Amino acid sequence: MVRSRSVRTVANLGIVSALTMFLGACGSMSLTSSSPTAAPEPGVAPEMPASIRSDELVGRWGLASFQDPKDRVRTEAAARGQCKQPYVIGAGAHGGVVMHLADQATPQELDLKGSPGGKNYIGPAGPAGGEQDREIVSFDGRVMVTRFIDKDAATRYGNMVYVRCGPKA
């Protein structure tokens, strides 16, 4: 009886030793594939250039806004009338344009950004269509219409109509 107990103890120790070695080997093994067919992790989409250049926006603009699309023509005329006190879009030191963000008293340099869908945006550095950006709804060189992405700012400011004052910059 003593002999069967010692055989059983030795067998149990052998099993525990084998399991310990097996589990130790598993800890150093990689269960993921390192082959080139593994899908890369999704990242931030690369920045796309806007189809509108910053030098096309630099200059003096009459500015007005509308909420109702029916008022666009009237608002363009009102913006033209604001050229006595134009809104100035300046050239930024790093290739952007100097404009105001929503609710900011001090203008700052903003980037022109493109998007995969072909839309253009003006806003601080970061992905296109961010909360502080404004979408360029239309631009023909003389008239630009923008709309803020932030819903609260979009409601308060409406569609901003910029009409170029004087000759194109």
| Torsion region of 118: left, alpha or beta (phi above 0 gives left; psi -120 to 50 gives alpha) | left
Cα 66 → chain centroid:
26
Position with higher pLDDT, 130 vs 38:
130
Cα–Cα dist 110/125, whole Å: 7
**What CA dihedral angle connects 131, 137, 141 and 143, to 10 degrees?**
-100
Residue 90's Cα: distance from chain center in Å? 22
Contacts of 37 (CB under 8 A, 6+ apart): none
With a cut of 60, say whether residue 41 has pLDDT above it.
no
Task: Break the chain into its structural domains and give their ranges.
Answer: 1-28, 54-164
Q: How far is CA 142 from the centre of its chain?
A: 27
Where residue 68 falls among pLDDT bands split at 50, 70, 90? very high
Is pLDDT of 36 > 80? no
Distances (CA, A) of 9 to 20, 89, 112: 16, 86, 76
Q: What is the pLDDT of residue 30?
A: 46
